[in-house]
């Protein structure tokens, strides 16, 4: 494993202000990668790598010792990244303790993942809490535009979600509404993956239940219909989701029930949708145009292509 020394640790991406919604010109959708370094080292190699980098706790963790902060692998991982990836909890805790409010905590690897991202990916909520209390910035996003909160919502990690939201009150509103490079905010990700409890929590925290994702203007209710998830549709309606809203193609959630066979969803939406919005727009009613309703090309979406009018 190649290890380099770098003088500048402060690789931060405060992109809440500089990433604007772009309905027609979104950044290219990328496949989310949550595997940085996870398979880069074998367990028996980890011990020797720590030793080679003078990481013995008795020697270096008892004092302020800079070299362990500047060491990075060929993947851009710091020793803190590696300790979290391999669940070397004691090493990680010691580094965090000695790096309170230090830029080291926010170093991003070549996938722009911070230690906080990796702590969520590896489901270590105790380390998530330690990182946040030590000054790790929860607003930083990876190379897919995902913050640690996005990842918790996508993976259904209730524990990490709770820790992040409880320790990020100052920036919580911005974090909840922030869209990744696929145009999805945290509520969209929780909805796409069917995590109803997270959907409820996000709405309680102030998430806009009618927010439109930036690729095609779907709300969480549109997404729930796409997923054919009647329980999610029901809960979103109970939470106040607007049924008479359009995506960028001019379709309401009820329009998306055409060509699908879940009668429960159809009944729920029919009763609440305005009468004049129940019929498909005439220009979109033929079979070839119906296929334009397919919205499943997004990497965040777990469902396959659905052809309408078959």
Task: Give 173 or 291, the one with higher predicted confidence.
Answer: 173
Task: Give 17 or 245, the one with higher predicted confidence.
Answer: 245
- In angstroms, the CA 303 to CA 310 distance is 18
The number of CA neighbours under 13 Å toward the Cβ of 39 is 3
For residue 298, pLDDT beyond 80: no
**Residue 279 — very low, low, confident or very high, per pLDDT cuts 50/70/90?**
confident
Structure tokens at 122: 């590896």
Mean pLDDT of 278-291: 55
**Exposure b/e, 207-239, CB count within 10 A at least 16 = b:** bebebbbbbbbbbbbbbbbbbbbbebbebbbeb
This prediction has a pTM of 0.76
pLDDT given for residue 148 in this prediction: 98
Structure tokens at 291: 């296929």
Helix axes 125-134, 158-166, angle to 10 degrees: 20
Taking domain 185-310, whether its CATH number is 2.40.50.100 is answered by: no
Ranges of CATH 1.25.40.20 domains, the chain: 35-178, 185-310
CATH node for 35-178 = 1.25.40.20
What average pLDDT does the structure give for the chain? 81
Run of H or E including 71: strand 71-73
- In angstroms, the CA 113 to CA 126 distance is 18
Contact 148, 172 (CB under 8 A): no
């Amino acid at each position: 494993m190649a290890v380099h020394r770098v003088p500048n640790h402060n690789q931060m991406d405060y992109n809440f202000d500089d990433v604007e919604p772009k309905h027609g010109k979104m950044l290219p959708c990328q496949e989310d990668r949550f595997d940085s370094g996870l398979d880069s080292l074998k367990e028996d190699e980890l011990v020797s790598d720590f030793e080679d980098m003078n990481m013995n706790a008795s020697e270096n963790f008892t004092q302020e010792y800079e070299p362990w902060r500047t060491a990075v692998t060929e993947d851009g991982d710091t020793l803190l990244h590696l300790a979290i990836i391999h669940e070397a909890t004691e090493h990680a805790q010691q580094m965090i303790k000695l790096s309170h409010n230090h830029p080291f905590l926010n170093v991003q690897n070549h996938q722009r993942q911070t230690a906080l991202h990796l702590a969520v990916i590896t489901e270590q909520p105790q380390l998530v809490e330690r990182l946040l209390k030590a000054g790790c910035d929860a607003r930083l996003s990876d190379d897919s535009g995902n913050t640690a909160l996005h990842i918790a919502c996508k993976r259904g990690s209730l524990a990490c979600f709770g820790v992040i939201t409880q320790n990020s009150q100052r920036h919580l509103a911005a974090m909840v509404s922030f869209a990744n490079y696929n145009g999805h905010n945290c509520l969209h990700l929780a909805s796409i993956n069917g995590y109803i409890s997270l959907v409820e929590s996000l709405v309680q925290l102030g998430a806009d239940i009618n927010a439109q994702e930036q690729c095609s203007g779907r709300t969480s209710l549109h997404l729930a219909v796409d997923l054919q998830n009647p329980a999610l549709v029901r809960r979103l309606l109970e939470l106040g989701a607007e049924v008479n809203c359009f995506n960028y193609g001019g379709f309401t959630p009820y329009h998306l029930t055409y060509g699908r066979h879940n009668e429960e969803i159809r009944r729920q939406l029919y009763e609440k949708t305005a009468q004049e919005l129940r019929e498909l727009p005439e220009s979109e009613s033929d079979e070839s145009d119906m296929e334009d309703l397919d919205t499943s090309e997004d990497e965040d979406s777990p469902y396959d292509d659905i052809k309408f009018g078959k």
